[in-house]
Structure 1
Amino acid sequence: MKKILMLSCVALLSMTACKKNDASSRVSEESVAKIEEKAAAKKNSGTPKMEFVELAHDFGTIGNNEAVETEFSFTNTGDADLVIIDARATCGCTVPEYQKTPIKPGETSKLKVRFQTGAVGQQQKTVTLTTNTEKGEEFLTIKANVSPAN
């Protein structure tokens, strides 16, 4: 009797274990449609894009400790609001100023960069913009040949 009971249990367990139990059998077509719909809505929500007039500026020869400024003009050519999250320079002698409010698609804005250094010779600094664009970062470069103090 114990053998028959034991064999019955083994047979029942093997039948249950062989049952198709994969994840695809539990996903309904309705769930798949909802997920695809959300993905399409996210894709169509738009992405901002920064298009600059120039990515680099050369101040030429400037005097030691002379303060100079330039503006980088750009347009949001994307189809969503552009937000500049942060702007940082490679050196404290370079100070970027940027628009803190969202820039609408088609709008133009400017990023002002102020440069003043006591170092002499050819200088090159990079300003890194952290944005909500697809790339996430934009890079601008300034250059100057700083002459020695008289």
Structure 2
Amino acid sequence: MLRWVILAVVVVVLAAGSTLLMNLSTSPGTSWNLPVTPAKAGPMPKAVVEGELTHEFGEMGQQQTGKKSWKLTNEGDADLQIWKGTSTCMCTVAKLQKEGDKLTLKPGESTDIDIEWKTNFVTGDFHKGANIETNDPDHPTFPLFVHGKINPPVVVIPGDTIDLGAINSDEPKTVFVAVYSPDRPETKITEINTSKPDYFKTDVESMSASELESGGLKAGNKINLHVQPGFPLGTMREEIVIHTDHPLRPEIKLTVVGSVSGPISVVPDRLRMVTVKSKEGASGEVRLLVRGGKEAHFDVAQKPEKLEVSVEPIDPVGAKGRYLMKVSVPKGTAPGLIDGEILLKSDLPGVAELKVPVSFLVGAN
């Protein structure tokens, strides 16, 4: 019985409390002490920039200077102050030359914000600019940027390395490279030099209208590279130097690579050893196989100074046209990398030279 009396008392107390709270919440003049965001008061500046904040300039050449102006107006009813903030380049902002300089615009006044940039030796994507700071609480910062593509002074297609792939020394081969200048279409090729003038012949011709149209070019040249028969057998790595009248790139060096095969097969086509011990020395062998079993004579015309090289016929009877080139690192050779080419002279018709790349890593132990 006592339990039921206590429960009834609790219910009555809770009901009375709820009624009291409702009366207080609806009573006129009752206020709550909640924080309220203060409203802006008084005249305020308003910075408005005309146009896009990022200027797309398209394409430019290296070592050039660009300039872009933005019009900034104070459309508020209080003085607007502007100053230069952070920058991503050595940009010059007109009227804000020194860091900390401030410019004040009265209501309704405007000014031009000029950004000047230099492309220097950048190639490819270019994205630079500066932040303009203001006392406009709604627009405290205006990031003004310039974006575009920077072209090298002279472009070579397919690039500075020409891969000729597999070449037969018995047959000629011709490839071409395109050369043009995006900023100076009138650029001319004045001279071409090659590391093997007896085996590399070149001529220059203007690109055709269809070639120019397909590349979106105004003018350009093609350099035809003719590889002559009898080119030295083995791995090819030669140089072509193109001279132009462009002031920023008067000389262009191209590397020509490939693999030349012919009446003589070289197995393996290069010799490498990376575990040579100085106190023991080492040796390796390369087989020279002459097509048709013809006899030939080989002289060592060039080799790395520290190596010993000899070429002798393989002994078995009936093994004509088969030769063994032995390459040795003498005992006591100083540790270090021996890297280079062995050049063989041959009396075989159509094969004046034969090159075999070699690389030996000599260790102290």
Aligned to 1:105: 107
Aligned to 2:130: 127
Deviations 1:93-121 (A, max 9, x none): x2222364311111111100001122111
Q: TM-score, normalised by structure 2?
A: 0.28
TM superposition shift of 1:79: 1.2
Aligned to 2:60: 62
Matches within 5 A, 1:1-150: 43-44=41-42, 46-54=43-51, 55-92=53-90, 94-98=91-95, 100-117=102-119, 118-134=121-137, 135-150=139-154
In terms of Rg, which structure is larger? 2
Deviations 1:52-75 (A, max 9, x none): 112121111111010010101111
Q: Which has the higher contact order (CA 8 A, sep 6+)?
A: 1
Compute the RMSD of aligned alpha carbons. Answer: 2.0
Q: TM-score, normalised by structure 1?
A: 0.65
Which has more strand, going by share of residues? 2
Q: What is the identity, as a one-letter code, of the residue corresponding to 1:127?
A: A
Q: What is the identity, as a one-letter code, of the residue corresponding to 2:94?
A: E
Which has more helix, going by share of residues? 1
Q: What is the identity, as a one-letter code, of the residue corresponding to 2:122?
A: A
TM superposition shift of 1:125: 1.6
| 2:77–2:107 contact (8 Å) kept in structure 1 | yes
Aligned to 1:32: none
User: For structure 1, which runs of at least 5 residues remain unmatched after alignment?
Assistant: 1-38
CA distance in 2 between partners of 1:78 and 1:120 (Å):
43
CA distance in 1 between partners of 2:84 and 2:55 (Å):
20
CA distance in 1 between partners of 2:89 and 2:134 (Å):
20
Q: What is the identity, as a one-letter code, of the residue corresponding to 1:143?
A: H
TM superposition shift of 1:132: 0.8
TM superposition shift of 1:82: 0.9
User: For structure 2, which runs of at least 5 residues remain unmatched after alignment?
Assistant: 1-37, 97-101, 155-365
CA distance in 1 between partners of 2:56 and 2:129 (Å):
12
Aligned to 1:23: none
